[in-house]
Amino acid sequence: MARYEAVIGLEVHAQLQTLTKAFCPCSTQFGAPPNSNTCPVCLGLPGALPVLNEKALGLALRASLAINAKIQEKSRFARKNYFYPDLPKGYQISMYELPLALDGWLEIEVEGVKKRIGITRLHMEDDAGKSLHEGFPDSDRWSYIDLNRCGVPLIEIVSEPDLRTPAEAYAYLNTLKQILEYTEVSDCNMEEGSLRCDANVSVRLRGAPKFGTKAEVKNLNSFRYLAHALEYEIERQIGVLESGGTITQETRLWNVAGGRTEPMRSKEMAHDYRYFPDPDLLPVTVSARMIEEIRAAMPELPDAKVARFVKDYGITPYDAGVLTSTRALANYFEGTVKAGAPAKSAANWIAGELLRRLKDAGKEIADSPMAPSALAGLLATVEKGEITAASGKKVFAQMFDSGKSAADIIAAEGLAQISDTGAIEKIARAVLEKNPDNLAKYRSGNEGVFKFFVGQVIRETRGQANPQLVNEILKKVLAGD
């Protein structure tokens, strides 16, 4: 395998976050009763005329800018003709020779190495319906058609063949997803099919001047499938070449249960689709002013947010990267700071405790049982020294589980930090008395034992003693004895 190199290009479909469909006023609501969100336009009834959804165009333009692509002044919808039961019009409305935007790029990072991935084009199209082959009465004899998804607006983003490993493909899809979510272009919900990915893969001997023949793998609807399918397909192609065979250009399917790619059909060519301009739709003209308006309304992108967090909050680029991984998490962090928490400790607690507990509970930040203001309340008590950092973690856990405030838990549990010098001194003396061997070691010059004593005293107070006071008092007691 070391002698070979893979070449990968991704075609990503994202559903635009609009309330209504691309060319008719039907709702895009997911999970509505079958065939309830339909009308003559999306059912492809004769004589019905499509009208472009302006909101969909706006989102597609926003996505184009976010991936650094050049919006074309003139683009045009085309009919991509093919027969399928879930496609009542007999064609998909897409863009062909004049797409909405060309020549963009994204920066990805894999193991600390940054790389720019070219994007060939972005175009708009409409979705097909769904054929359902299981889970219904008589599924062994009948297939069912649900046309609710027919005409839902999509964008397709086609990358250049710049990716070289499954890890790069994974990072590319992840970066793209993050940008589309940030800009609210798409909710990118992969389970509901709002983000779908086809992967084109070929292999060649390292250093070979030309690309090999590619296969296109469809049905990659999760990050895991993408990585597994690519690994499988790369190995398969190398195997074919090593045994003297040739790769056929074809479309393959990822078989989830079998963990392998399988031939689906020989590759269709563009001319098979008999593309032609859709005579029912006007060409799309985008003025410079429109582009400026879209640019002005563009939400902050992930990279810009990372830079701002580092600069404004003085946190590390690493923490900034973690905290901006989703817009919801970034908002949570900023909400905590706004509620009065020091930025650095907010960053530490959110990136550490909060994310760990959310992960363990299988929850997203949106379902956090702790509001930003509640976390800020806890951090303030730690900051002021009212409780120790160790108690802080205990309180955090209880707040997370019960939704109670920090103050209530501290009062109920008697966790307020012990700053009573008399009490600490008493415990310090008891600890020394209980550990004569270590005391002797200390006396004979082993200063390392001091830390042990500090630890013991804090333990005796169940983590509530003020560590700085414990240090001072222990020093005093040891010096005086």
Q: Which is nearer to Zn ion, 24 or 197 (CB)?
A: 24
Give the Å distances, CA to CA, from 22 to 87, 262, 477. Answer: 15, 33, 78
Give the Å distances, CA to CA, from 50 to 16, 44, 67, 97, 279. Answer: 17, 10, 28, 20, 10
Nearest approach, Cβ of residue 380 and ligand ADP (Å): 51
Name the binder of 26 from ligand ADP, Zn ion, none, CB < 5-8 A by kind: Zn ion
Q: Which is nearer to ligand ADP, 23 or 96 (CB)?
A: 96
CA angle at residue 358 from 354 to 359, to 5 degrees?
A: 115
Name the binder of 9 from Zn ion, ligand ADP, none, CB < 5-8 A by kind: ligand ADP
Q: Which is nearer to Zn ion, 77 or 170 (CB)?
A: 77
Dist. CA 273–CA 169, nearest whole Å = 28
- From start to end of 372-433, where are the E strands? none
Name the binder of 336 from ligand ADP, Zn ion, none, CB < 5-8 A by kind: none
Q: What are phi and psi of 141, to 5 degrees?
A: -115, -25
Name the binder of 286 from ligand ADP, Zn ion, none, CB < 5-8 A by kind: none
Q: Which is nearer to ligand ADP, 120 or 421 (CB)?
A: 120
* 113-126 vs 144-146, strand pairing mode: unpaired
Nearest approach, Cβ of residue 177 and ligand ADP (Å): 17
Nearest approach, Cβ of residue 398 and ligand ADP (Å): 51
Name the binder of 166 from ligand ADP, Zn ion, none, CB < 5-8 A by kind: none
Q: Which is nearer to ligand ADP, 251 or 325 (CB)?
A: 251
Nearest approach, Cβ of residue 44 and Zn ion (Å): 10
Q: Which is nearer to Zn ion, 44 or 342 (CB)?
A: 44
Nearest to 153 by CA among 265, 334, 291, 18: 18
Strand pairing partners for 203?
6
Name the binder of 7 from ligand ADP, Zn ion, none, CB < 5-8 A by kind: ligand ADP
Token output for 360: 């363990």
* 284-285 vs 74-75, strand pairing mode: antiparallel
- Residues of this chain that interact with ligand ADP (CB under 6 A) are 7-11, 158-161, 200-202, 211, 214
Dist. CA 469–CA 473, nearest whole Å = 6
Q: Which is nearer to Zn ion, 40 or 403 (CB)?
A: 40
Q: What are phi and psi of 230, to 5 degrees?
A: -65, -45
Nearest approach, Cβ of residue 198 and ligand ADP (Å): 8
Torsion of CA 111, 113, 119, 120, to 10 degrees: -110
What is the chain's percent helix, strand, coil content, to nearest 5? Answer: 40, 20, 40
Q: Which is nearer to ligand ADP, 44 or 161 (CB)?
A: 161
Q: Which is nearer to ligand ADP, 43 or 158 (CB)?
A: 158
Which residue number has the CB closest to ligand ADP? 9
* Amino acid symbol at 91: Y
Nearest approach, Cβ of residue 339 and ligand ADP (Å): 45
Nearest approach, Cβ of residue 85 and ligand ADP (Å): 24
* 4-15 vs 195-205, strand pairing mode: antiparallel
Dist. CA 262–CA 187, nearest whole Å = 30
Element (H, E) at 361: none
Nearest approach, Cβ of residue 189 and Zn ion (Å): 22
Name the binder of 42 from ligand ADP, Zn ion, none, CB < 5-8 A by kind: Zn ion
Nearest approach, Cβ of residue 295 and Zn ion (Å): 31
- Residues of this chain that interact with Zn ion (CB under 5 A) are 24, 26, 39, 41-42
Cβ atoms of 199 and 206 within 8 Å: the answer is no
Dist. CA 460–CA 149, nearest whole Å = 64
Q: Which is nearer to ligand ADP, 208 or 423 (CB)?
A: 208
Name the binder of 211 from ligand ADP, Zn ion, none, CB < 5-8 A by kind: ligand ADP
Element (H, E) at 252: strand 250-255
Name the binder of 39 from Zn ion, ligand ADP, none, CB < 5-8 A by kind: Zn ion
Nearest approach, Cβ of residue 223 and ligand ADP (Å): 18
Name the binder of 24 from ligand ADP, Zn ion, none, CB < 5-8 A by kind: Zn ion
201 burial (CB, 10 Å; 0-12 / 13-18 / 19+) is buried
